[in-house]
Amino acid sequence: MRPSSFSHPIALSLAIAAAAALAAAVLGSCSKLPLVGGEPELKIKLAATPTCNSCGESTGYPLTVRVLQVTDASGLSGASLVQVWDREGQLLGDALLGKPVQDVLDPGIKKEWKIERDPKAAAVVVMGNFCKTEGSCWYFVRKLEGGGGASLDLYLDENCVREVRR
């Protein structure tokens, strides 16, 4: 009977090292597995009403939505959509962290975004590029507590971003 190749201590050590390296490569490539110590995330649920961004008409139109992470959202106070949209960096300056996340939401559609939270973020801002606005409700600000994640549940109607109240 021939002895097993793993009966030699060096061969056994090499086999264990190879198996550990293979397991690390497989587990490391699975992006859906949560990593211990990973960055906190912002979970933002958006629901557009059928009349979202209706411009005064009876049907809604697609709405461009942006999410900003900021150290201070006070620069938005009193500003109009026209003053802010595409000028966020100029208006907010160093308070704006990173690039805004943007997508288009069709009327009657729901989406959920998961965005890595910037550790310096003190607030998250969700803005809609509405064709008609009502006061300052074209954007929604949520202050962020501590360094963890946060969840927002918002809906977009004719001209406002509003929080879902339960």
Integer Cα distance of 61 and 131 in angstroms: 9
Angle at 46 between CA 105 and CA 117, to 5 degrees: 110
Over residues 113-119, the mean pLDDT reads 96
Integer Cα distance of 102 and 87 in angstroms: 14
- Give the largest Cα separation in the chain, rounded: 88
pTM: 0.76
Lowest mean pLDDT among 14-28, 67-81, 88-102: 14-28
- Domain shared by 81 and 157, yes or no: yes
- Domain shared by 78 and 29, yes or no: no
Query: How many domains does the chain divide into?
Result: 2
Integer Cα distance of 92 and 81 in angstroms: 14
- Domain shared by 125 and 90, yes or no: yes
- Domain shared by 82 and 5, yes or no: no
- Domain shared by 29 and 46, yes or no: no
- Domain shared by 23 and 76, yes or no: no
- Domain shared by 50 and 19, yes or no: no
Q: Provide the token pair at 51.
A: 């009349």
- Domain shared by 76 and 130, yes or no: yes
Integer Cα distance of 16 and 19 in angstroms: 5
Give the structural domain span for 7.
1-33
Band (pLDDT 50/70/90 cuts) for residue 39 is: confident
